[in-house]
Amino acid sequence: MLSTGLQRLSPLFRRSMSTSLPSQPDLRVVAAAGLVGGGFGGLVGLGGGAIMVPMMSSWARMTQHQAVGTSSAAVASVGTSGMLSFGSAGAVDLIAAGSLACTALLTARAGAKMTGWFNAVQMARAFAVFQIVVGPLVPLKGLIVGNKKAADAEVAASDPSSSSPPLRRFASFADATTFESAGARTSQLLKLAATGCVAGFASGMFGIGGGVIITPALCVLTDMPYAMVLGTTLASMVPPALVSVYTHHGMGNVVASAVVPLVIGSALGSFASGQVAVRVPEEPLQWVFAIVLFSQGALKLWALRGK
- Tens digit of each residue's pLDDT (9 = 90 or more) over 64-98: 889 989 999 888 888 888 788 888 888 898 889 99
Rounded-to-integer distance, Cα 214 and Cα 205, Å: 15
pLDDT for 173 beyond 50: no
pLDDT at residue 181 in the model:
61
pLDDT score, position 144:
57
Helix (H) or strand (E) holding 201: helix 179-206
Does residue 207 register a pLDDT over 80? Answer: yes
What are the DSSP E strand ranges found in the chain?
none
Percent of the chain with pLDDT over 70: 77
User: Where is pLDDT greater, at 272 or 117?
Assistant: 117
| Residue 275 backbone dihedrals phi, psi, to 5 degrees | -65, -30
Confidence check: pLDDT of 4 > 60 = no
20 pLDDT more than 50: no
- Given a contact cutoff of 8 angstroms between Cβ atoms, the answer to whether 296 and 110 are in contact is no
Say whether 305 sits in a helix, a strand or coil: coil
Mean pLDDT of 167-185: 52
Query: What pLDDT was estimated at residue 231?
Result: 86
What does the pLDDT look like over 259-277, one tens digit per residue?
999 999 988 888 888 778 7
